[in-house]
Structure 1
């Protein structure tokens, strides 16, 4: 589609003149999409490459090292992840899934973070990290099993170093910190071997930062200097509660109190998210300890399919954030740099259609589980209490069959 020279061209080469974001007129008292002067950003809402600033200077070289092919690949991930998410939402509305938590609007935060991880790095998600799962190689069909109610989670956590979804808010942060401390004790940190050194990244939303588990994990990670990155997707709403009802100090600034750095990044700018996360993960793997990343983004849809956001937020707010859409932004950037053409964009859209059809078919063909399997894989090793309960349940089910045979 493009010649070799195009493929090797740096994706992050800045324009000679710095572009500034256009503030969208709104009824708000201020631009709610503005993350402040500390926010790391490389591409504005229209796809214009921003010049180096004090905030993004430390990460500029990472972006400069990306090629045009890297940029196209990131765009492809954004589009396919969004289509996967849309299919999950549609399947729930059609009665094929019991629930679906949408990531609409947060694709860049998840794809940027996921692509910054190495195969040996372990991800601990909440329940909305479909984009991270995609980047870690978890088949999208597997994400649907739990929400359809046909399995215990849908995938082997250790196959892709992607933990099962965690429904209990913030609980995964403690799991992740414990795992990171284990990596540290195994000696897989700071060896200089890129195939051995590992780190952990745990994901939560802004609402999760108010949980005890989250703050306890920060204490342990800071004191232990664990190879850990806390990735907070600040999508502005903890279900129906806005930021100002959750905290007085933004998440990235609170990291200092736990003894490690915090960074705010434009969560709708996939290049910026990738650069910041790569730097944080590299630091963690080398033994420099944890980092907190706050991806400043927005949840365009409902909290889950059981939520109605029109009850607590106004449509004008959503319209303002729509102008900062991560896919629109990356498409504009690639087009302006000549790194992609209409044929490329059309091919990605066609691939997204094929992915959606594959997901739908797989979901509808998922077999119902055998009832006794609910007792499987509860513990790593066989457990006598669970085995006894399973045997009693199997006998209970068999009693119905016996009763039916007796009636004949």
Structure 2
């Protein structure tokens, strides 16, 4: 039987590598086995069975008691419920598209809760859970996918930049921002007692495993390494870059790529909210203290389609999904809380009721969201008036006025 190593680097006479040709059935099985296992270097604090494991990162969870863990559980349940409601609304024609995060709640909530108010986050297009932890009103995400707006929130207030659709582009933006933090002296400071300053800043940027094949990500790694930029590269390895598995993109685990750039890389169980919280806190502290960038590979799984335009049944097996259902990020926290007496059934019922109410509010808002007037696409382009833009607006409005309904839908 092929090993995971044989998936990309077969022995002489063993047939072509999967990266170079159509994989054999044995290679497919080996690849699925590699997907299901995080490897010996996987950082895990809460097992799929809900058992707490000791770790060198435990000091970064000193403040996480039962109440805090219940809060993390509630975050994940509400985010998942909102995600499922938005997915349903897209199917009903209320949203143009939706990008599901099902299965990735722990990676997003854990890392998002690790951020401090002064930090800045750069998302791709799936970080709805991170947005939630940064205080962005979930309703403000709907305009993007209803095609009526592009990030209605104040990114400075929330420390959360607009979504980025171009694959990997946000890595360059985040690296540049982090370089600015360093140039402005916002890292590596101490208070009068010689202790680390509580006001130092860091940046985190989110991207998927598929983005690691993009040049923008490579360039971001290079610049961050050269300038010791305080940026955490947070790769959510959900195993599938749309329809291509990670094994078709890299001969090494993604976190090991950091070695080639000269900064630390670590693989964390992306379905373990405690591990994601602790490791991200550690990485952000490294950056705030002036120790340069860190790469985190959150080993997780996309339980739904890449987007609502995708059909995952065409490229992955149902057996693979069944394996990951046993590693559900929410269920392991629920089991842990129930087993340790950290929460009772009344708490779980209340969280579910809150989640349903949250989804109902989103649904009501979306169904009654007014369409903006056509001139709005011109009003938020430049901070100051532009003669060229004014001319384009007048030409477009004149064009619309030629229709019987005046261009209204």
TM-score (norm 1): 0.88
Q: By how many angstroms is 1:107 displaced?
A: 0.2
Question: Secondary structure at 2:116's aligned position in 1?
Answer: coil
Which of residues 150, 153, 157 in structure 1 aligns to 2:151?
153
Question: Secondary structure at 1:123's aligned position in 2?
Answer: strand
Deviations, residues 78-101 of structure 1 (Å, cap 9, x unaligned): 100100100110100111001001
Q: Within 5 A, what are the aligned runs for 1:259-278?
A: 259-278=262-281
Q: By how many angstroms is 1:392 displaced?
A: 2.9
Q: By how many angstroms is 1:44 displaced?
A: 0.7
Deviations, residues 204-248 of structure 1 (Å, cap 9, x unaligned): 000000001111011111101011000000000000000111111
What corresponds to 1:69 in structure 2? Answer: 67
Structure 2 portions without partners, runs of 5+: 1-27, 192-196
Deviations, residues 300-328 of structure 1 (Å, cap 9, x unaligned): 00000110000000100000000000000
2:121–2:160 contact (8 Å) kept in structure 1: yes
Which of residues 213, 216, 224 in structure 1 aligns to 2:216?
213
What corresponds to 1:304 in structure 2? Answer: 307
Q: In structure 1, how many angstroms separate the alpha carbons of the residues matched to 2:373 and 2:274?
A: 45
Q: By how many angstroms is 1:338 displaced?
A: 1.1
What corresponds to 2:121 in structure 1? Answer: 123
What corresponds to 1:240 in structure 2? Answer: 243
Count of aligned pairs: 373
Pairing 1:47–2:50 present: yes
What corresponds to 2:228 in structure 1? Answer: 225
Change (3 A) 1:49 1:382: same
Question: Secondary structure at 1:138's aligned position in 2?
Answer: coil
Change (3 A) 1:375 1:60: same
Question: Secondary structure at 1:32's aligned position in 2?
Answer: helix
What corresponds to 1:169 in structure 2? Answer: 167
Pairing 1:109–2:107 present: yes
RMSD after superposition: 1.9
Question: Secondary structure at 1:292's aligned position in 2?
Answer: strand
Pairing 1:356–2:349 present: no
TM-score (norm 2): 0.87
Deviations, residues 351-383 of structure 1 (Å, cap 9, x unaligned): 001100000011111110110111122234443
Which of residues 76, 81, 93 in structure 2 aligns to 1:78?
76
Q: In structure 2, how many angstroms separate the alpha carbons of the residues matched to 1:377 and 1:136?
A: 24
Change (3 A) 1:31 1:222: closer
Change (3 A) 1:402 1:265: closer
1:174–1:213 contact (8 Å) kept in structure 2: yes
Q: In structure 1, how many angstroms separate the alpha carbons of the residues matched to 2:394 and 2:51?
A: 64
Q: In structure 2, how many angstroms separate the alpha carbons of the residues matched to 1:341 and 1:144?
A: 34
What corresponds to 2:187 in structure 1? Answer: 189
Which of residues 371, 374, 379 in structure 2 aligns to 1:376?
379
What corresponds to 1:23 in structure 2? Answer: none
Q: By how many angstroms is 1:181 displaced?
A: 1.0
Question: Secondary structure at 2:375's aligned position in 1?
Answer: helix
Q: In structure 1, how many angstroms separate the alpha carbons of the residues matched to 2:202 and 2:239?
A: 27
What corresponds to 1:285 in structure 2? Answer: 288
Change (3 A) 1:291 1:83: same
Deviations, residues 160-195 of structure 1 (Å, cap 9, x unaligned): 111111111001001111111111122211223655
Question: Secondary structure at 2:268's aligned position in 1?
Answer: strand
2:237–2:300 contact (8 Å) kept in structure 1: yes
Change (3 A) 1:43 1:395: same
Structure 1 portions without partners, runs of 5+: 1-26
Q: By how many angstroms is 1:256 displaced?
A: 1.2
Q: In structure 2, how many angstroms separate the alpha carbons of the residues matched to 1:298 and 1:116?
A: 21
What corresponds to 1:88 in structure 2? Answer: 86
